[in-house]
């Protein structure tokens, strides 16, 4: 997700399967992929601790459960 040309950080708890296959440095978590399934590593479900679904667009600084890198 871009805002004024800058990439917004996503929560460090956001995960996809590719996170474990390729490693976090090789996975773009700034934009949703139509084939990816996202989950929170804190809850181990598709919902974060605030019961909102996880995705790059949703897991931003505005959420109370957000944890920066």
> pLDDT tens digits for 6-24?
567 899 999 998 888 877 7
Map out the domains of the chain as residue ranges: 1-62
Residue 63 or residue 23, greater confidence: 63
Beta strands in the chain (DSSP E): 2-3, 6-7, 14-15, 39-40
Share of the chain above pLDDT 90, in %: 55
SS3 21: helix
Model pTM above 0.85:
no
């Amino acid at each position: 997700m871009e805002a004024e040309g800058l990439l917004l950080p996503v929560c460090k708890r956001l995960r996809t399967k590719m996170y474990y296959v390729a490693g976090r440095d090789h996975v773009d978590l700034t934009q949703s992929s139509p084939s990816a399934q996202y989950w929170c590593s804190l809850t181990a479900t598709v919902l974060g601790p605030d019961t909102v679904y996880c995705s790059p667009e949703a897991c931003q600084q505005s959420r109370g459960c957000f944890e920066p890198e």
